[in-house]
Amino acid sequence: MYFLMIRPQQQRQKKHQQMINSLKVNDHVTTAGGMLGTVVKIKEDTIILRVADNVRIEFLKSAVGQVRESAPEENKE
């Protein structure tokens, strides 16, 4: 029972905590609620995300669902 239910959950929690600890300014993230943004500032328990020009929202670090790779910039000719 332990290896089927408890252990996988512990591994997911550990992986999520490592992701949160490795956050840095300018990382592109997605929150658990689906909000996309760029990390502007990292505080002790929260992060501030830029979600649009001149729009910044503060989230709990635990609300970060994933770190996204930077979108490739389009070639301008």
- Domain boundaries in the chain? 22-69
Flag whether pLDDT at 25 surpasses 50. Answer: yes
Residue with more model confidence, 77 or 30:
30
Predicted pLDDT at 38: 96
Which CATH architecture best describes the domain 22-69? Roll (2.30)
Residue 27, token pair as written in the block: 């990382």
Flag whether pLDDT at 36 surpasses 60. Answer: yes
Residue with more model confidence, 33 or 1:
33
Nearest CA to 40 out of 50, 52, 53 is that of 50
Dump pLDDT digits (tens) for 39-54: 999 999 999 999 999 9
Predicted pLDDT at 77: 46
Q: What distance separates the 2 farthest-apart alpha carbons in the chain?
A: 59
Q: pTM for the whole thing? A: 0.75
Q: Which distant-in-sequence residues (6+ apart) come within 8 Å of 24 by Cβ?
A: 39, 42
Residue 59, token pair as written in the block: 């989230």
